[in-house]
A and B are shown apart, each in its own frame.
Chain A
């Protein structure tokens, strides 16, 4: 059993996004965090001080531990932002710098 089976989900066709250059499959409706969890990724940020890895902690937008860079925009909360086809997701280093 997995959660999709349990809820008898019929998601649309999976699409591709990249995480640090690596292609991953994602489902429409999921957040960036949910897509990364599905792919077995649990860390996508390294802290400013200690360079320590972080990912989801609170899951509801309160803790800001899940910050990530999506399509060049830093400091996006992965647990809130919906994943979209072709998203370029990158590990956020420290405070994060927008690409452009």
Chain B
């Protein structure tokens, strides 16, 4: 008996689920590997089972799409076509002659090694939030907007009672409405972008009426709940000694500078803040996949969602930020391409024409959104020298400026060697965009040896080759 072709899908968010379903339906054996204890990813993050939520959809959008994905995956699991390894954190994917070894750490303690061997790999690891520093951003009570959302959806908890949601980007809307619905008082939604920037991109945005309606729905919710929305405003500083007590917000002028006299203080115990998202690319980088030239932060794929490493596909936010609907379309295309290629045939792109059209439209839409929601010019100049930039190693903006200035560092790696910014636990995931912005160095791939910290015992236990 010959084993069926086998793909390992890393990530059980919208992209990975769509890819797994599509490939499994076409006769490919799928192992779905994810660090979380349930499928769903960030968008469809589920409350822990033991919490017994009878109405988890109250915290969600597009629940029907989730039900279709979940039921489909459950059916394939029951039929033995998909196996789902939950609580498996992948720290490295290795190419072996003609196949791949996906190395994961099992369980919350992440100390036990597990290796999955497969003929092909689909990377669908999503992204994480970018937060640009400002004075006070390391105070307890300051959390990422997506993080507040993730803790709410997964653990049914709130960070505090009085919240300011701030930064820039479309994610702030669901976060503010979600926190409000769950009982927090949202004192203000502070968005740095200018609504007129959205108008400038009107044609690209209008091509996606569904997404616009979604945005309008959230805006309506905020109005209904009397959430104060301040556009072209930023949080200048978060205040408190051992935890957040107050934020100072101020209005921005057209040139990105603060309008004099506009500063005001808003008492709050939580600041949920974010400035867009960045793709997770570490597994792709160690495999040798090329990142896109445009900004060097996303995995480059072709029309079939193939990376330039044979046998490795990528879909969803790993290949560029664009939301759940785009992740679904990309996962679907990847799944079809994987099935055809593993069966030794060339896929027919006509079979995914609808998904390809959605992909084109949504990519255009998000490129326009990204331009409209760019962090305000001048944010880097506003950082005081004593503001911590690298949270792990407690490196200040002053030290980073010195490295790039008098010490002449011209790239992130040199700044890191001179200051230790990016050398700590998170390996620069949090500070790299800020260091790049402060120094004018291009934001380049991190080249982390492992996507997760790996116990030495697990490394020592790997076979030599």
Contact = CB atoms under 8 A, between A and B. Distances in A.
A76 to B, nearest CB: 8
Nearest to B395: A49
Given A8-B54, A10-B54, A28-B50, A3 B156 contact: yes
Nearest to B142: A57
Contacts of B54: 7-10
Contacts of B142: 57
A7 B157 contact: no
A42 B243 contact: yes
Prevailing SS type, chain B contact patch: loop
B47 A29 contact: yes
A42 B394 contact: no
A63 B430 contact: yes
Nearest to A37: B157
B429 interface: yes
A29 B155 CA distance: 7
Contacts of A1: 181-183
Nearest to A62: B128
Contacts of A53: 139-140, 242-243
B316 interface: no
Nearest to B60: A7
A47 interface: yes
Given A43-B242, A60-B128, A62-B429, A3 B182 contact: yes
A11 B159 contact: no
Contacts of A59: 143-144, 146-151
Interface of B: 35, 42, 47-56, 58-59, 108-109, 128-129, 138-144, 146-152, 154-160, 181-183, 242-243, 391-394, 424-426, 429-430
Given A2-B183, A28-B50, 10 more contacts: A4-B156, A7-B55, A30-B156, A34-B154, A37-B155, A42-B140, A48-B394, A59-B146, A63-B430, A65-B391
Q: Which 7 A-B pairs rank lowest in CB-CB distance, beginning with the nearest? A: A59-B147, A29-B50, A34-B155, A29-B48, A64-B425, A10-B52, A43-B140
